[in-house]
Amino acid sequence: MRLINKFGKTTIATSMVAATILGVANVSFASDSSASLDENAQGQQGQDRAIAFGNTKNPKNVIFMVSDGMGPSFNTAYRYYKNKSGAKTLKPTAFDKYLKGTNRTYPNDPKENVTDSAAGGTAFATGHKTYNGAISVDTNKKPVKSVLEQAKEQGKSTGLVITTELTDATPSVYAAHIDSRDKKDDIAQQFYKDRINGQHKVDVMLGGGSKYFGKNNGNLDKKFKRDGYDLVSNKSELNNSQSNKVLGTFSEKDMPLQIDAPKSNPLLVDMENSALNKLSKNNKGFFLMVEGASIDKAAHPNDITGVMSEMSGFETAFDNAINYAETHKDTLVVATADHSTGGLSIAKGKDYKWNPEAIHKMKHSGMYMTKQIVAGKDPEKVINEGYGINFPSQQLDKVKEAAKELHKLPKEGKGEKDEKVVAQTTKLQNAIQKPINDESHTGWTTNGHTGVDVNTYAYGPGSSKFKGNMENTQSAKNIFDFFKKDITSNQNQQ
Ligand SMILES: [Zn+2]
């Protein structure tokens, strides 16, 4: 142990000196390496590079990216979407060249063998398969440690960045332990109350869900502020934030989809950049989870416009993370999904054809148009403003009829729990989306999740550990292993 510690200290000291010349050293390193910078290509000079750039064999920093609901057909559809229609060769997406393997997503649930985001998240955050709805507790409802908690124990900085609520299942599995994902107030309370070495578990929290941090849940936001966190609620406040700790909530519940969002809202990549700026100040490294959560939210109601919008936002954030890892050699980037959603099919009916051009013409998502009509806006006006392709007049009559039926339902009791309202809203949204699903030839099989294996993309030191067809628990096992071997932050560990 002593030898390892001594080596560790030597490496840190040398890398701090090297950091002052990082710009120059980095350029020469990049220019003499035309091949992939994957760990396999690091060769004999790995030791020297470890001194210059930190440990390049074992990551000090991990950026774990989750694309909620992004099954393999989403990746293929997005490749079509990114290319001009009629192209003979489809250019790759930012993901394609980093494909390493696939994840098996099934949960350990007594009733269901297709996972939800809570069981899926618990698997890749903790290494334990559990029942649907569980937030980092095992099948006996006992808490199980997450890789973010391990990072914090070792003095690393930590972050959660997400497009939906911060108390949603995927971020929650990293910093909370509770028997049900629905207990969002309790989850937010745990974010504040639970400490590791006297510190809050998560240094950077950016996403939606302000309602769980405000006055209805004990003014947690003010308490975080008292403890040194910046509180921000729009893009310019986020850009001006100076503290290394921040709580940013940009909407009461889920953030709007990228295609529908006001300019004052940060995009996923903006939040990721802010997180990287803050977290990278810690010499011991960091763990950051970035989630493209709204891919799933758009896929549940079969909204192809929303799905492609969010895939685009996630791709930009992934590309940005790769750029970061290219200049920070001790950083591993992994991107995977917890499951697939909706049973997205590239073509439907009898035609051998999928037409993403139609989706490009859309001005708003189906979710957005539905919300506008639910809020009382004139259906015809909403459709005219949101659609960029022809909307048949017969179909417009169906939208108007569905809106009329919805508005007839009693106002009292309106809400997510009211089944009639939910059913009628679904009917309305389906009517709004039918023309774009038809014109683009997009098929769907369910409003829920599917059990297909999902793709895993990785780059940087340790990326080869994600090769092949793996259990979803292996991601956590790999990251625990990396942190155990991390010489910059484990001196105090046993
Ligand atoms: Zn879902």
Assign 3-state DSSP to the chain and report helix, strand, coil percentages, each to 5. Answer: 45, 15, 40
- Confidence label for 37 from pLDDT (cuts 50, 70 and 90): very low
CA 344–ligand 1 middle distance (angstroms):
13
200 annotated to bind ligand: no
pLDDT score of 18: 35
- Domain end (from 418, 439, 460): 439
Do residues 296 and 366 share a domain? no
- Domain end (from 439, 459, 474): 439
Q: Is the pLDDT of residue 186 over 60?
A: yes
Is there a domain that residue 349 lies in?
Answer: no
38 annotated to bind ligand: no
For the entire predicted model, the pTM comes to: 0.88
Distance CA 178, CA 159 (A): 20
Do residues 335 and 371 share a domain? no
Do residues 329 and 366 share a domain? no
Do residues 402 and 456 share a domain? no
Q: Which tens digit of pLDDT belongs to each residue from 117-142? A: 999 999 999 999 999 999 999 999 99
Is there a domain that residue 20 lies in?
Answer: no
CATH of the domain at 376: 1.10.60
170 annotated to bind ligand: yes
pLDDT score of 314: 98
Do residues 171 and 202 share a domain? yes
CATH of the domain at 228: 3.40.720.10
Is there a domain that residue 95 lies in?
Answer: yes
H-type alpha helices, 328-392: 356-360, 366-374, 379-386
Tell me which residue range forms the domain holding 222.
59-343+447-490
pLDDT score of 487: 85
Do residues 361 and 456 share a domain? no
pLDDT score of 40: 43
The DSSP secondary structure of 13-77, one letter per residue, reads HHHHHHHHTHHHHHHHHHHT--S--SGGG--TTHHHHHHHHS-SSS-SEEEEEEETT--HHHHHH
- Which one is predicted more confidently, 235 or 54? 235
291 annotated to bind ligand: yes
Do residues 311 and 185 share a domain? yes
Handedness of CA 174, 180, 181, 182 (dihedral sign): negative
Do residues 271 and 367 share a domain? no
Is there a domain that residue 51 lies in?
Answer: no
Q: Which tens digit of pLDDT belongs to each residue from 434-479? A: 999 999 999 999 999 999 999 999 999 999 999 999 999 999 999 9
CA 66–ligand 1 middle distance (angstroms):
13
Q: Is 117 a catalytic residue?
A: yes
CA 247–ligand 1 middle distance (angstroms):
25
CA 421–ligand 1 middle distance (angstroms):
20
300 annotated to bind ligand: yes
Cβ distance 370 to 425 under 8 Å? yes
Is there a domain that residue 15 lies in?
Answer: no
339 annotated to bind ligand: yes
CA 121–ligand 1 middle distance (angstroms):
12
Q: Is the pLDDT of residue 19 over 50?
A: no
- Confidence label for 53 from pLDDT (cuts 50, 70 and 90): low
177 annotated to bind ligand: no
Catalytic, out of 15, 67, 117, 146: 117
Do residues 104 and 240 share a domain? yes
Is there a domain that residue 149 lies in?
Answer: yes
Q: What does the DSSP 8-state code read for residue 90?
A: P
CA 167–ligand 1 middle distance (angstroms):
14
CA 52–ligand 1 middle distance (angstroms):
43
CB neighbours of 308 closer than 8 A, spacing ≥ 6?
A: 77, 78, 81, 356, 359
Distance CA 296, CA 418 (A): 22
Do residues 410 and 265 share a domain? no
Q: How many domains does the chain have?
A: 2
Do residues 317 and 430 share a domain? no
Residue 291 token pair: 């989630």
Do residues 192 and 153 share a domain? yes
Is there a domain that residue 99 lies in?
Answer: yes
CA 341–ligand 1 middle distance (angstroms):
6
Is there a domain that residue 339 lies in?
Answer: yes
Q: Is the pLDDT of residue 5 over 70?
A: no
Q: Which tens digit of pLDDT belongs to each residue from 64-115? A: 999 999 999 999 999 999 998 888 999 999 999 999 999 999 999 999 999 9
